[in-house]
Amino acid sequence: KKPDEIIQYFVPYLIYYQYNRYEDAKWCAIKALELAQKQKNEEMKINILNCIGLVLFQEGKFAEALSKHKEALFLSKEINNIYETSKSLLNIGQIYKSQGAYPKALKHIQLAITIIRDLDDDELFSNTLYKIGQLYYEMENYEKAFDFLKQSLNYTIKNGDLNGRAHCLNDIAMIYCETKKYNEAIDYYDKALKIYQKLSDLSEVATQFNNLAIVYHKKGHLNKALKYIKRSIEILEILGVQAGIETHYNNIGTFYASEKNYTESLKWHKKAIFVE
């Protein structure tokens, strides 16, 4: 069956968004919104408003993004669409979190989870627990962050959500790192690494190698730290992620500086400057 006109724009939006082509994604979403308004399809209109808000957020246009999500929230409450209401609340919470307005962020995400508990959607519930864990982590409340991330992790194991599971493992490792429990951090980063390798997500594999390098450096194992960060650089070179390579070179420079090997440190910091 041929999809209707809205879907013909909405599906390309999803593809462009996943590939970080935000200008193209926004154009498709605006076209889909025009059609939804013309057809008086309120549910699709709300969905698309949230999608436009997500693009604007990625573009750093926080005020505009907030406006779209608030409009979506208002409309979803009007037609009693609790699923879209919860999504809008989550999106608003994420914007406040990015601006460091943690109490506002927590208020909206907690409102969302009270709705999501009754939706019979384990994936959305797990993702919301994860977002609360992330928020508490940024607030440096590591005990609560750990609790929510562990809850989310249990749901991802139950549902077979490998990607979500890897994200939880990574963030729990970050908490262990912050609390100087380096062996536990290494264990969790390693578990996340194995999942990302299974998923063939090279970008995340590179991130895990870098994370392991940082932990090993904190433990005073320079050789292991260098081994992992160089493996990360190899992947970033394949992917053509120049900004990441520059950051890694600077990290290596920092590793050497902490060992008082300033000649080698200077070499790597200079190398970072000339990454093309």
Tens of pLDDT, residue by residue over 199-241, are 999 999 999 999 999 999 999 999 999 999 999 999 999 988 8
**94, 131 Cβ separation under 8 angstroms:** yes
What residues contact residue 122 under an 8 Å CB cut-off, 6+ apart? 155, 158, 159
Closest CA to 73 of 97, 50, 51: 50
Tens of pLDDT, residue by residue over 126-145, are 999 999 999 999 999 999 99
Q: What is the rounded (10 degree) CA torsion for 246, 250, 252, 257?
A: 170
Closest CA to 216 of 261, 255, 262, 246: 255
Token pair in block for residue 263: 């000649």
What residues contact residue 120 under an 8 Å CB cut-off, 6+ apart? none
Q: Which residue has the tokens 């609360």?
A: 132
Closest CA to 204 of 214, 215, 212, 193: 193
Average pLDDT over residues 43-66: 96
